[in-house]
Amino acid sequence: MIEPAVEIAELAFRYPGSKEWVLDGLDLVVRAGERVALLGANGSGKTTLLAHLNGLLTPQQGALRVLGHQVGPSSIAELRRRVGLVFQDPDDQLFMSTIGDDVAFGPANLGLRGSELERAVELGLASVGAEYLRDRVGHHLSGGEKRRAALATVLSMEPELLALDEPTSGLDPVGTRELAKLLIGLGTTQLIATHDMAFALETCPRSVVLSGAKVVLDGPTRELLADEALLAAHGLALPFGWRIPQEVQPTEG
């Protein structure tokens, strides 16, 4: 039996100095290979949850197991090697003199050198079709190019789990569609925090809704988005004038 990629039970967390729990009794299981959208209003805990997956934050209460490892001080190094966290702002991940150097940063910190490091850089760039960006400077790129480059910095580490925070932020419709195709083609386990309902429908067969510091809804994305009253009860709404496209039924014969 394949072990779940993510197992969360009664997870609780609040930031220093705050009396409010950002996560409080949160439960979630994600199977290996799933793409799951994390939906929720601002402040619902989506970013905080993602930050727990690679040990950027650690649980204050409850249990969190990722890729077979209990999240805690002894597992952080292993989790940061196997879990790729893509921040909402790609500029947070592009800080070296060239994109090639940015993509090499993570593997180099894992100890890769020479031909192994070169292979990792080539893999990361090729995974997102961004080989042409290798010698470019991050702040000279378009929004879509920055998003690809930031993702390449993570994919160069060959992660088993991807955690993406608002990956369509700042992208135009063409860039959003290209990103959706890219993520669908990767085949890795993915948790995608997004306000973009169309993107969630396109990329994630399953969605969970965070509200009141907990997972309150969990099911097929199409079914959840079809219930506008249920979404509204948790501070969510479809884009104005947007309707869920009808599923194409196979023809007989």
Residue type, 192: I
Q: Report the relative pairing of strands 83-86 and 161-165 from DSSP bridges.
A: parallel
Q: Which two structure tokens, joined as six digits, stand for 199?
A: 């993107």
Model pLDDT, residue 110: 87
Model pLDDT, residue 1: 59
Separation of alpha carbons 197 and 12, rounded Å: 27
Q: Could you list the pLDDT tens digit for every one of the 253 residues in the chain?
A: 577 999 999 999 999 999 999 999 999 999 999 999 999 999 999 999 999 999 999 999 999 999 999 998 889 889 989 999 999 999 999 999 999 999 999 999 989 999 999 999 999 999 888 999 999 999 889 888 998 999 999 999 999 999 999 999 888 888 889 889 989 998 899 999 999 999 999 999 999 999 999 999 999 999 999 998 999 999 998 887 787 877 644 444 4
CATH of domain 6-233: 3.40.50.300
Which long-range contacts does 57-60 make (Cβ < 8 Å, 24+ apart)?
57/13, 59/11, 59/12, 59/13, 60/12, 60/13, 60/14
Model pLDDT, residue 247: 67
Model pLDDT, residue 112: 93
**The model's pTM:** 0.90
Model pLDDT, residue 175: 84
Model pLDDT, residue 72: 87
Model pLDDT, residue 199: 94
Our CA angle for 52, 225, 223, nearest 5°, is: 100
Separation of alpha carbons 233 and 31, rounded Å: 28
> Could you read off the pLDDT of 159-203 as tens digits, one per residue?
999 999 999 988 888 888 988 998 999 889 999 999 999 999 999
Per-residue H/E/C for the chain: CCCCCEEEEEEEECCCCCCCCCEEEEEEEECCCCEEEEECCCCCCHHHHHHHHCCCCCCCEEEEEECCEECCHHHHHHHHHHEEEECCCHHHCCCCCCHHHHHHHHHHHCCCCHHHHHHHHHHHHHHCCCHHHCCCCHHHCCHHHHHHHHHHHHHCCCCCEEEEECCCCCCCHHHHHHHHHHHHHHCCEEEEECCCHHHHHHHCCEEEEEECCEEEEEEEHHHHHHCHHHHHHCCCCCCCCCCCCCCCCCCCC
